[in-house]
Amino acid sequence: MAKLEITDLHVSVDTEDGAKEILHGVDLTVDTGQVHAIMGPNGSGKSTLAYAIAGHPKYTIVSGQVTLDGVDLLELGTDERARAGLFLAMQYPVEVPGVSVANFLRTAKTAIDGEAPKLRHWAKDVNGALQNLNLDPSFAQRSVNEGFSGGEKKRHEIAQLELLNPKFAILDETDSGLDIDALRIVSDGVNRFSGQGDRGVLLITHYTRILRYIKPDQVHVFVAGRVAESGGTELAERLEAEGYDRYLHTATQA
């Protein structure tokens, strides 16, 4: 069984006033076959955690460790982390004008696997993944995310997840901006991925609505750059009823 293990992770970001620490000692372990949900208010550091793990240059690792299946991710470049089995679905997927979805996906698959997929089978796989996410096969010829609606961008991210099939997926607010139909389609895609049994998911969200479709094994409350509490689905239900006020009050008093 592989695992994504985060140990005492401290991360800072450069500001006009100098380096500012955002994460203050995060400890978290996700095993394959598990879905963990991270919930928390705006500005709590959830996205910082995602991008720091993925290797975004904006974020500086002050101290701590992140390993994937025993491999020290912090010693690897961003592309090497992807080849090690890590996938990040971004909160705001970027547009890549002039690069078709088909070429982008094939290039990514080639980089991860070390060899290009056979065109005949690959075209079938791409069309199948797009159709699974309710995207017309014509999307394969469009520039990456250019002119896509918010929901189309998020569905395209999950199509990438299906085709690249990493060991662990970090999904940063994949549910934001989705209507109820798109939310169900995206959730079905995540469930197909996690349902393989040997894959892990770290799902970052503000709201419990996506957890009606994706059932997490554990829920973590993230406040002020730390895991404030962990529990089962009952914790998410309590957050829905009570909000984050008591955690924010505790963080303010600390």
Cβ proximity of 174 and 186 under 8 Å: yes
Question: What CATH number matches the domain at 3-253, 3.40.50.620, 3.40.50.10420, 3.10.110.10, 3.40.50.300?
Answer: 3.40.50.300
pLDDT of residue 71: 94
Distances (CA, A) of 248 to 119, 167, 243: 52, 34, 10
Average pLDDT score over the chain: 92
CA–CA gap between residue 169 and residue 204 (Å, rounded): 11
DSSP class of residue 73 equals G
Residue 252: is its pLDDT beyond 70? no
Q: How confident is the model at residue 206 (pLDDT cuts 50, 70, 90)?
A: confident
What are the structural domain ranges in the chain?
A: 3-253
pLDDT at 254 over 90: no
The rounded distance, in Å, linking the Cα atoms of 191 and 183 is 12
Q: What is the pLDDT of residues 28-71, one digit of tens each?
A: 999 999 999 999 988 899 999 999 999 999 999 999 999 999 99
Q: Is the pLDDT of residue 197 over 80?
A: yes
Burial class (CB in 10 A: 0-12, 13-18, 19+), 181: exposed
CB 159 within 8 A of CB 190: no
* 134-151 tens-digit pLDDT: 999 999 999 999 999 989
Give the position of tokens 């918010």.
Answer: 150
Bridge partner list, 28:
6
The residue ranking higher by pLDDT, 189 or 119, is: 189
pLDDT confidence band for 92 (50 / 70 / 90): confident
The answer to whether residue 253 scores a pLDDT higher than 60 is: no
At 86 the pLDDT is 96
